[in-house]
Amino acid sequence: MFYRRKFHIVKNEFVNTFNAHFNETNLPNQTKYGARLIGRWMVPNNDISTEIFALWEYDSYEKYIVIEAKVKGDTEHVNRVNKWYEKNGGRDYVYKKYILEVKNEQLKSTLN
């Protein structure tokens, strides 16, 4: 199995918008191609931001690569994402104003 953690630090004023986008756009497209969401959580980071992260499971790293290629190659999905960015001021604006940090990390087990 391959596990990944997608991590965002988001300004508090944008949390509801960001979560709605995940639920309405990103989650359906990921699961459509075989990604399995273990869960998604958020926790206050400080007075102005919140940490939001999701744990994903794949059969293997190779399957993850295939699924990600399908997600990024889905023209309808890409168009929905681009429209969401445009609605919120554009991609650059969203990343300068609302999304402070993003990490996409492989998780490695500590169990034998």
According to CATH, what is the number of the domain 2-107? Answer: 3.30.70.100
Residue 112 confidence (pLDDT)? 83
The CA distances from residue 13 to 7, 24, 47, 49, 94, in Å, are 17, 19, 11, 8, 12
Rg of the Cα trace of the chain? 15
For the chain, give every domain's residue range.
2-107
What is the CB neighbour count within 10 angstroms for residue 85? 16
CA angle 83, 89, 93 (to 5 degrees): 115
Low-confidence spans in the chain with pLDDT less than 50: none
Q: What is the pTM of this model?
A: 0.90
- pLDDT tens digit sequence for 52-75: 999 999 999 999 999 999 999 999
pLDDT at 88: 97
